[in-house]
Amino acid sequence: MNPRRPLTADDRALLESLLRDCGPRLYGYVRKVFRGVDADDAVAEVFARAADNIASLRAAKRKDLYLLTAARNYCRDRYRRKLPTTMSNERLAESAPPATAGSESRDELVERLRDAVARLPERQREVVVLRMTAGLKFEEIAKLVGVPLGTALSRMSAAVQRLRRELGVTHVCGRR
């Protein structure tokens, strides 16, 4: 391990700026994609690692994608270490039937959608969250996730179809 050099004032300013600009997006990404990983801890760890690798961060063209990639790698590593009992409990929660459709308020519908997204397979959920919450383009998602563009698009399509089925949506905006 290399001895860590002290951060310069410019390094600290860059990290503070990125925390302010990208921190909420990183937090939302971690919370929505990687259930069971503490989002506060994950974001703190990502920024600590970014500080340790400040030269790589500075060299990155898209610092937001650099940080999202770091968050993804950290969370996947943490997610793999989960205890089997925790995973079993999550699988049980995922298999619960969705709430019945009816005359529901917007808040209830949003909650049903949030729950349905949480039940998507991780690969589909990740693409949905990166697109809808982080606002990334599909090309950026593909690069971040490390898959071809067509794979990112097909994961989104499969997620949308699954969400429509689960929520009982038969058509959207006049399309069937």
Kindly list the domain boundaries of the chain, sorted by start residue: 9-80, 99-167
Cα dihedral sign for 86, 89, 91, 97? Answer: negative
Reading the block at residue 13, the tokens are 């300013």
State if pTM tops 0.85.
no
Q: What's the mean per-residue pLDDT of the chain?
A: 79
Structure tokens given for 125: 């959920």
**Is CATH 1.10.10.10 what the domain over 99-167 is classified as, yes or no?**
yes
pLDDT higher than threshold 70 for residue 174 = no
Report pLDDT digits (tens) over 123-138: 999 898 888 877 788 9
Cβ partners under 8 Å of residue 168, min gap 6: 101
- CA contacts within 13 A on the Cβ side of 131: 17
Using one digit for the tens of pLDDT, what is the confidence trace for 6-51?
A: 889 999 999 999 999 999 999 998 888 887 778 898 899 999 999 9
134: burial class by Cβ within 10 Å (0-12, 13-18, 19+)? buried
Q: Which of 74, 56, 75 is nearest to 66 (CA)?
A: 56
Q: What's the rounded Cα separation, in Å, for the pair 26 and 133? A: 10
